[in-house]
Amino acid sequence: MRVVVTGAHGKVGRAAVSALAAAGHEVTATDLTRPVWERREPGEPRYVQADLTDAGQAFAVVREAEAVVHAAAIPDPTANAPQVVFQNNLMATFNVLEAAVRFGVPRFVNISSETVPGFFFAERSFLPDYAPVDEEHPTRPQDPYALAKHFGEQLMDAAVRRSDIRCISLRPSWVQHEGNYERNLGPQVRDSSQAGAGLWSYIDVYDLADAIVLAAESDLPGHEVFYIASPDNAGGHDFAAMLHRYFGDRIELRPLARPDASGISCAKAHRLLGWAPKRSWRDYLDENGRTRQG
Ligand SMILES: NC(=O)c1ccc[n+]([C@@H]2O[C@H](COP(=O)([O-])OP(=O)(O)OC[C@H]3O[C@@H](n4cnc5c(N)ncnc54)[C@H](O)[C@@H]3O)[C@@H](O)[C@H]2O)c1
């Protein structure tokens, strides 16, 4: 397929481009960053520079695509003014999706976020009703980033109502790769009280890229939402014991697939996309949360 990947120079986009190309797709990469004005290396995807908050640029990029993977966004609400995050993320999603609907692109993969239920950047304390959190959990976002992701998922609902496009929203947990595992997860591997805001969950970027390929290739109709989190928690701690120790009975404990389960369930992605994550923090870090040598 001809697949357009937005946010292609970011953490997630880069891994998605490589995984889609390795799966045999013809990838067009797009981002805000400048192109390199040199001869393309063999296997290097086509690159187009575009600011997707501009509808014309979004339409120019999406034209002729058979699938769109939309990963472009400001990935956090803390380093930009709130209205910048909200406007950038929501309008980029609106424009890319609008272009896909108008050009009759059959498949849209929307990179949403685990923050949609209310995790991570809430101004007032947020606790999920139950854990592991799944796609049935009510959504109670507070901050501009999670709100834009929440509205982005609603844009997908509207798109499948008004056209034949098929949409999949992936809600990745906190994305990790060889360059940031130790910095992000090391403290929590050493000490479970250093819980990430997502109930000790995380996702390896290459497992996420595998999920993106499956979503791009999927025939699922309508709009489906999937959490994408590694099945284990960062640190391999006993999840039931940790939940009780830090939250008492304020979060209902639901059945666990394994004792060291993540606080986010990826059972639906396994069931409907056939996604089977292969990596763990243990491949990168030792028991002290330090990068494995060699
Ligand atoms: N990093 C995480 O832990 C995490 C977790 C859940 C969801 N996500 C989502 O995954 C996606 C990718 O995040 P990432 O971690 O790779 O972030 P990133 O910042 O590394 O990459 C995002 C890319 O999007 C591009 N971009 C932003 N606004 C744009 C615009 N208006 N037009 C064109 N390109 C634009 C940026 O230039 C950047 O290269 C985002 O949608 C993010 O919200 C990330």
Residue 287 lies in a domain: no
Residue 285 lies in a domain: no
Residue 281 lies in a domain: no
- Quote the pTM value: 0.97
* Residue 229 tokens, joined: 């989190």
Residue 277 lies in a domain: no
Average pLDDT over every residue of 219-236? 97
Domain residue limits at 222: 2-177+201-232
pLDDT score of 199 more than 90: yes
Residue 193 lies in a domain: no
Tens of pLDDT, residue by residue over 107-144, are 999 999 999 999 889 989 899 999 999 999 999 999 99
Residue 251 lies in a domain: no
pLDDT score of 294 more than 90: no
Residue 120 lies in a domain: yes
In the chain, how many domains are there? 1
Backbone angles phi, psi at 249, to 5 degrees: -105, 25
Residue 261 lies in a domain: no
pLDDT at 196: 66
pLDDT at 167: 98
Output the CA 69–ligand 1 centroid distance in Å: 12
Number of CB atoms found within 10 A of residue 290's CB: 14
| 31 Cα nearest atom in ligand 1 | 34
Average pLDDT over every residue of 252-280? 97
User: Residues 92, 95, 96, CA angle at the centre, nearest 5°?
Assistant: 85
Number of CB atoms found within 10 A of residue 241's CB: 11
Residue 73: which CATH number?
Answer: 3.40.50.720
pLDDT at 81: 97
Average pLDDT of the chain? 96
CB 88 less than 6 A from any atom of ligand 1: yes
The helix (run of H) or strand (run of E) holding residue 14 is: helix 11-22
Instruction: Using a pLDDT cut of 70, give the percent of the chain over it.
Output: 99
CB 113 less than 6 A from any atom of ligand 1: yes
Instruction: Characterize the bridge pairing of strands 252-253 and 223-228.
Output: unpaired
Average pLDDT over every residue of 1-23? 98
Average pLDDT over every residue of 265-284? 97
Tens of pLDDT, residue by residue over 203-218, are 999 999 999 999 999 9
| 12 Cα nearest atom in ligand 1 | 16
Range with lowest mean pLDDT among 26-30, 49-53, 62-66, 123-127? 123-127
pLDDT at 43: 87
Average pLDDT over every residue of 4-26? 98
Q: Among 5, 32, 156, 174, say which to mutate for ligand 1: greatest number of ligand atoms within 8 Å of CB.
A: 32
